[in-house]
Amino acid sequence: MNMMLSEHESLAFISGRRSVFPKELEDEEVNRDEIMRLLEAARWAPTHKVTEPWRFVVVQGEALTEFRDIIEKVIIEKGLGKDPIEEKIACTFSKLDRVSALIAIVMKRDDRERIPEEEEQWATACAVQNVQLHAKSLSIGCYWSTGAGREHSTVRSFLGLAETDFHMGWLFIGRYSAEKRLIKERRPVSDYTKWL
């Protein structure tokens, strides 16, 4: 099916996407089938030489409980920043307790390294944006986070990442069906475009 959206429909769909943060999520779970349907959108991202470098590791159920313990240890070990450790742990737990799943976003390097690494990261980011755009149609709320021990070796081994896999962060996933308003107006196209 080659469905055409009008210019207005297309832009309304893209501009209507919003990050949904854990505190905004509803109680109903997002099930495995819905997560598979959500990730289907990644398939259609642009990819140089069609290397399809995106991988997703879905952490849910008991694995999410296990991850909670891991991240607590990681926070204690890192002794993060200016906030007291207990506050940082409580803040992280409050997010994890509200999600149905955490999805690790991973770039898998092409075996033959035909493409510069950053291009594989860009293709993976395109795949993530497809997923974020598709989420609304499934009443799934999500946001991309680069926190939560992304580069830590314990987190990497929990996810089963190979040395050359690049962990690009997490999608925090949960149920959300309400409308969200734009918090901050965006710059007009003339501000970010230069004509030669």
Ligand X SMILES: Cc1cc2nc3c(=O)[nH]c(=O)nc-3n(C[C@H](O)[C@H](O)[C@H](O)COP(=O)(O)O)c2cc1C
Q: Is 143 in the site for ligand X (CB under 6 A)?
A: yes
**Locate tokens 């690049």: which residue?**
166
Question: Residue 169 interacts with ligand X (CB under 6 A)?
Answer: yes
DSSP at 48? G
Looking at the Cβ atoms of 81 and 114, the one nearer to ligand X is 81
**Please, which residues bridge with residue 144 across strands?**
171
Q: For residues 74 and 193, give the distance between their C-alpha atoms in angstroms, rounded to a whole number.
A: 42
Which range, of 62-70, 116-124, 143-151, 154-162, touches ligand X by CB under 6 A? 143-151
Contact map string, positions 146 to 165, toward ligand X, x by CB under 6 A: xx------------------
Burial of 29 (0-12, 13-18, 19+ CB in 10 A): middle
Q: How far apart are CA 148 and CA 151, in angstroms?
A: 9
Give the contact letters, 19-58, x = binds to ligand X (CB under 6 A), - = no.
Answer: x---------------------------------------
At 48, list the tokens. Answer: 């140089």
Residue 141 or residue 158: which is nearer to ligand X going by CB?
Answer: 141
Task: Identify the three-state secondary structure at position 194.
Answer: coil
- Tell the smallest beta-carbon distance from residue 99 to ligand X (Å): 13
For ligand X, the closer CB: 122 or 158 = 122
CA–CA dist 176, 138 (Å, integer): 9
What is the residue type of 25?
A: L
Is residue 95 a contact residue for ligand X (CB under 6 A)?
A: no
Residue 100 or 132: the one with the smaller Cβ distance to ligand X is 132
Question: Which residues contribute to the site for ligand X (CB under 6 A)?
Answer: 18-19, 143-147, 169
